[in-house]
Amino acid sequence: MTHQLTKKELRETKSKRVDFQSIPRNNIYIILDSLKCAHNIGCILRLADCLLVKKVFICGDTILPPNRKIKAGSRGAEKWVPWQYEKDATKITKELKSQGIEIVAVEVTDNSLDYRKYKPQEAVCLIFGREYDGVSQELIDLADVSIHLPLLGMSNSLNVSTAASVILYDVYAKQNAKS
Ligand SMILES: C[S@@+](CC[C@H](N)C(=O)[O-])C[C@H]1O[C@@H](n2cnc3c(N)ncnc32)[C@H](O)[C@@H]1O
């Protein structure tokens, strides 16, 4: 389980970059599949920092830091969270899968599971899709499971960073729950 820092520890740690980088990170990876909105990318990088996500792969046709709009969403979190650009999301997904990491497409599909019923493995990679077309079919096919957040109203989807917030906190809580 990840060490939960007190506010005092957090303040002290934040001033010592070297110490911060030695904190064990959670076994959660994120793939962003060709996200187009810089603000969304920034918000997800900030979220990834808040939850000590192991790594964010920003993939495909996208926008990368340094970028003014990403920074507005991330509040500079790209400095703290490990991230890398990967042109080919399929390649990195296969690589993570071959390392035994559970691949989870976060998307509404015909077969997706309600996120409340999903039990994460020890190491998971969450794939979030592009604002207009979602996670590519190729990545959905590669995934071990697809999960969705129920949509009860007229909207077909949530904003990607809103969906990421709910799913990431849920996965983090389930992985760290005392059995
Ligand atoms: C705005 S949605 C994509 C559009 C959607 N596929 C459509 O055609 O209506 C962008 C991304 O947010 C995430 N997302 C949005 N709503 C979701 C939901 N209800 N369940 C799971 N993921 C969701 C997914 O990762 C999705 O690829």
Q: Could you give the number of structural domains in the chain? A: 1
CATH number at residue 97: 3.40.1280.10
Asked if 129 and 33 touch (Cβ cutoff 8 Å), the reply is yes
Domain-located, residue 33: yes
* pTM score, whole prediction: 0.92
Residue 1 has pLDDT above 60, yes or no: no
Structure-token pair, residue 109: 């599909």
| pLDDT at res. 20 | 78
Structure-token pair, residue 147: 């999960």
Domain-located, residue 16: no
Residue 130 has pLDDT above 70, yes or no: yes
pLDDT tens digits, residue range 151-171?
999 999 999 999 999 999 999
| pLDDT at res. 22 | 83
| pLDDT at res. 8 | 76
pLDDT tens digits, residue range 71-128?
999 999 999 999 999 999 999 999 999 999 999 999 999 999 999 999 999 999 999 9
Domain-located, residue 28: yes
Asked if 131 and 153 touch (Cβ cutoff 8 Å), the reply is no
Domain-located, residue 171: yes
Is the CB of 109 within 6 Å of ligand 1? no
Domain-located, residue 41: yes
Domain that holds residue 42: 22-176
Domain-located, residue 7: no
Is the CB of 151 within 6 Å of ligand 1? yes
Which range (4-8, 60-64, 85-89) has the least confidence? 4-8
Give the position, in ligand 1's atom list, of the atom nearest the Cα of 105: 25
Q: How confident is the model at residue 9 (pLDDT cuts 50, 70, 90)?
A: confident
**SS3 state of residue 170:** helix
Is the CB of 172 within 6 Å of ligand 1? no
Domain-located, residue 17: no
Asked if 160 and 35 touch (Cβ cutoff 8 Å), the reply is yes
Q: How many CA atoms lie within 13 A of 161 on its CB side?
A: 17
pLDDT tens digits, residue range 18-61?
677 788 999 999 999 999 999 999 999 999 999 999 999 999 99
Domain-located, residue 3: no
